[in-house]
Structure 1
Amino acid sequence: MTVQELTLNILAERLITVFDSKKLVSWAVEVMLLGYESEKLYVLAGLDFTSTEEREKYFFESLEELNIEVEKNEDKLIEQYAITIAKKAVENVIDLDYAFEKMRKVVSASEYDQKYISFFKIDEDLDSLRYNNSVLFNSELTLENAEEFILEEFKIFLDMENLKIPIEERKKSYCENCFKLNIPITKSKYQFKKPFKYMVWSCGICGSTKLKFDSNHEVKRLIIKEYKKHMLKMALPQ
């Protein structure tokens, strides 16, 4: 692991978990093992019995002495960390369960940012499957295919992040009536029993209620495909 990866991990851990500042001491030791040297780094490596405030002081001073650039924006830092976790999961560098656990923490730390919300929905559905044998969001998910499903979610997440697909595009559903991707809308329906009036999701183009929603992996792959076409079209001379 490079010094940049070690540093990204430690900074992200401070944001997404209950953080023990002794990990900053471990970071210093690992960085020294990579061959880096500095006065502040040596001090930090020996701070086993001191305050969090002092450890953090020497940690950031070590970064400055070693000219290690770090992302200061918390949202961007979480994003970098999430992408790193996803890459390692897809490349089988880290255990899939471990990666999924980290992504659940990313969801919470990001205040349920739409970029990561799919991992929260999968987690909710797995709990529902265990206790009620039902799902709320992912109709294709089962306890038997959970590992494969989560791995595919990581792959899709990376593809969408690499393409920088806007959040609004990621929210699109697929209409099985007009065969178009669209942002679904709600419309009123009526029946001869209570509630006499209720709301349903429908296609934003033709009004059909025959939709596949954005949690569906086929729909996500269609969104990626369509966005690639859009980017190619934009890149061509007008």
Structure 2
Amino acid sequence: MVVNFKENTEQLLVERLLKGFDPSRLVEWARHMLAEGAYTDSLIKLVTMEKSNKEEIEKYFLRSIEELDLNIPADLESQLQEYANDIARQVLNGDITVDYAFLQMLKVAKVSNKDFRFLGFAEIEEDLDNLFYGKKVKREGLNLDTQKAYILQEFKLFSTMEMLDIPLAFRQQEYCMICGNLTTPVPKKKYSITRPFIYHVLSCEHCRSERLKSASQHFVKKKIIDSFVVKGTTN
């Protein structure tokens, strides 16, 4: 069996940050690397560290990655983005299952501290829990029967946005059901005869309507992609 150690390493870089991660997996990784012919001073040290504390094991794990020159970004944000893109590519190519890819993206979303790029996957999981208990969800087209197809479509949209390098602010736009424009919502003051007498709601920046569809909806994501492509061709 051919093992892609770069992908395995990226996965461990993400999962080591999750609560309950077993650091002995990093020691096992080092053993596999040595068995495949890789060699660095830090790898040699790492394979002997099964009883060491987590911090020491991680230190030599990160040193090993640097010494092996696996072309993995040093900063966490770039690591997460590269790993997420690899997962999306694999599931869209049919190399891994939707269930496995979804699980990995949930890990990325958790480690990323709610980075908007990956937040959609965590929100889908929450909606699926609600559906399981008979509650309504706001995502159009998502139900227990269509969940795998819906998740796969989420991967397609995510991959397209990443490939086009659409800025986060552009991805966070909502769609106004009244004027038909994409919009960055703005607050609108409203009044009530009961407390609170004055409050604010989000509205369209173009027509001030409150009838907005969020960027979590697939049809809104498609409009965001189309709009970005059009802007790119006209600039």
TM-score (norm 2): 0.84
For structure 2, the 5+ residue unaligned runs are: none
Q: What is the CA distance between 1:193 and its match in structure 2?
A: 8.6
Q: Tell me the residue number matched to 1:206.
A: 207
Q: Tell me the residue number matched to 1:119.
A: 121
Closer, same or farther: CA 186–30 of 1 in aligned 2, 3 Å: same
Q: Distance in 2 between matches of 1:192 and 1:50?
A: 65
Q: Tell me the residue number matched to 1:182.
A: 183
* Aligned alpha-carbon RMSD (Å): 2.7
1:108 is aligned to 2:110: yes
Closer, same or farther: CA 170–32 of 1 in aligned 2, 3 Å: same
62, 82, 85: which one aligns with 1:83: 85
- The answer to whether the 8 Å contact 2:91/2:98 transfers is yes
Q: Tell me the residue number matched to 1:149.
A: 150
Q: What is the CA distance between 1:185 and its match in structure 2?
A: 2.9
- The answer to whether the 8 Å contact 2:7/2:83 transfers is no
Letter in 1 for 2:25: K
Q: Tell me the residue number matched to 1:44.
A: 46
Q: Tell me the residue number matched to 1:19.
A: 21
User: Could you give the per-residue CA deviations for residues 134-193 of structure 1, whole angstroms, max 9, x where no partner exists?
Assistant: 11x413311111111111111111111121211211121222332221123343556889
Q: Distance in 2 between matches of 1:226 and 1:145?
A: 27
125, 129, 132: which one aligns with 2:131: 129
Q: Tell me the residue number matched to 1:233.
A: 234
- The answer to whether the 8 Å contact 2:109/2:121 transfers is yes
Report how many residues are paired. Answer: 233
Q: What is the CA distance between 1:198 and its match in structure 2?
A: 6.5
For structure 1, the 5+ residue unaligned runs are: none
Q: Tell me the residue number matched to 1:62.
A: 64
TM-score (norm 1): 0.83
Q: Distance in 2 between matches of 1:190 and 1:208?
A: 16
- The answer to whether the 8 Å contact 1:17/1:105 transfers is no
- The answer to whether the 8 Å contact 1:121/1:138 transfers is no
Q: Distance in 2 between matches of 1:194 and 1:20?
A: 51
Q: Among all aligned residue pairs of Structure 1 and Structure 2, give the percentage whose two residues are the same amino acid.
A: 37
